Amino acid sequence: MKWIRRIAIAALAVLVLAGGAALWKREEIGRLMAVNSLFAPDRIVANFSNMDEAFLSTPISTGPGTPLPRGPEVALPEGAEDWIADRAVTGLVVLHDGAITHESYHLGTTKDDLRISWSVAKSFLSLLTGILVEEGALSLDDPVTRHVPALGGTAYGGATVEDVLQMESGVTFDEDYFDRDSDINRMGRTVALGGALDDFTAALTGTNRMPGGEMRYVSIDTHVIGMVLRGATGRSIPDLLDEHLMGPLGIGASYYVTDGEGVAFVLGGLNMTTRDYAKMGAMVERGGRVGDLQVVPEAWIDASTVPSANTAPGGMRYGYQWWMPRDARPGEIMAQGVYGQFVYIDRISDVVIAVNGADLGFRGDGVSAGNIEMFRRIAAAQG
């Protein structure tokens, strides 16, 4: 009978929808579980090489990339092997005069692993910002609301592009990675559950200082930079990065972790090989050039990599999404991320050190100073 057939079809449709919902929920739960075990001691190394298995992601560059030249092998300084073990270093690439003088991989990783950048990604976004400023898509004095009207009436309502580049937006945001209920971890769960980071950002209304005041490191400011660049160009960050940086740098396979809307997690979701992180450092070390090609305006390299933010006395100093040691030497710059990710650049000595790691003790007393000291010793050993 027709009515029996209709009931059967309706029941089948319900089962299909229920099955689809169950599959979606299973994937969502899986991502949430991945967040909760991301830094587990027995899983952190593998997780950091396979972020696309735990989170939504989108490719940036898919080509083979270009090789880095090799120079004479230079021995690491005394104590480096202990440092590698103590800091759970997974990849170490050293360049001198643009050529590899040391390359090693540890804890079961290889040269082909696409390692998570964490906040090293912020420095990539700074470079892209400089290119787009040079092209006239935006200026540092622009209110962020000029390019992202949705942020009007939020904590970012009075901030400029320069304010967010220097982490001086004034937003109230808890960056404690070890507090499950901190804002940074709530944001991580938003990504895991397929939420929208733009909505998460627009819901932030609290401020604790005026824009342009004291620098306080809050990663959500970098997401706002990404929102501004998307608003100013009408394009996605992966597309912009591939065109303006990945291609000219010769970076091979790479991808971003994304939220549920496909928006790149620009504040820390970049993944590529350790060699390719070194390529970025080499370009910055050469004043924004790759061979005869000016990839990033030299004026932006010079302006963005000097202490310009209102950092607290006695601590690390900050520019436009770049770090400098508190006792920084001329030309000494760092991109750095949690758990031991670094691109250290010594422009005077023509040395770049790219490091990936899985360092659960990265916040320990003296660890940061010890890392900088080791980078300086490795640089000095290059001659």
* pLDDT surpasses 60 at 13: no
Which pLDDT belongs to residue 356? Answer: 98
**Cα 244 → chain centroid:** 17
Separation of alpha carbons 139 and 129, rounded Å: 9
pLDDT at 257: 97
Worst-scoring range by mean pLDDT, 4-18, 165-179, 184-198, 215-229?
4-18
- pLDDT of amino acid 178: 84
- CA–CA distance, 296 with 286 (Å, rounded to integer): 10
pLDDT of residue 180: 86
Mean of the pLDDT values across residues 68-92?
A: 98
Task: Give, rounded to a whole angstrom, the gap between the first and last alpha carbons of the chain.
Answer: 89
Closest CA to 305 of 141, 122, 96: 122
The per-residue pLDDT for 196 is 96
Q: What is the phi/psi pair of residue 316, to 5°?
A: -60, 150
Q: How many CB atoms lie within 10 A of CB 378?
A: 24
Query: Shortest CA distance to 156 belongs to which of 122, 201, 196?
Result: 201
**Buried/exposed 358-370: b ≥16 CB within 10 Å, e otherwise:** bbeebeeeeebee
Report residue 63's pLDDT band, with 50, 70 and 90 as the boundaries: confident
Structure confidence at residue 135 (pLDDT): 98
Full 3-state SS string of 327-349: CCCCCEEEEEECCCEEEEEECCC
CATH of 44-381 given 1.10.3720.10, 3.40.710.10, 1.10.510.10, 3.40.640.10 = 3.40.710.10
| Residue carrying structure tokens 């091979």 | 252
Are 151 and 299 within 8 A, CB to CB?
Answer: no
User: Is the pLDDT confidence value at 118 over 70?
Assistant: yes
Of 213, 214, 293, the C-alpha closest to 250 is 293
What pLDDT was estimated at residue 26?
A: 66
pLDDT given at position 321: 98
Q: Residue 7's pLDDT is what?
A: 47
Which 3 state secondary structure label does DSSP give 223? helix
**Letter string b/e over residues 238-250, b meaning 16 or more CB atoms within 10 A of that residue's CB:** bebbbebbbebbb
Instruction: Inform me whether the pLDDT recorded for 15 exceeds 60.
Output: no
β-pairing, 57-59 with 255-257?
antiparallel
Put simply, whether the predicted model's pTM sits higher than 0.85 gets the answer: yes
**pLDDT digits over 304-333, tens only?**
999 999 999 999 999 999 999 999 999 999
Q: Please tell me the distance from the alpha carbon of residue 353 to that of residue 89, in angstroms, as a whole number.
A: 12
Question: Considering the chain, what is the average pLDDT of its residues?
Answer: 93
Strand partners, 94: 102, 353
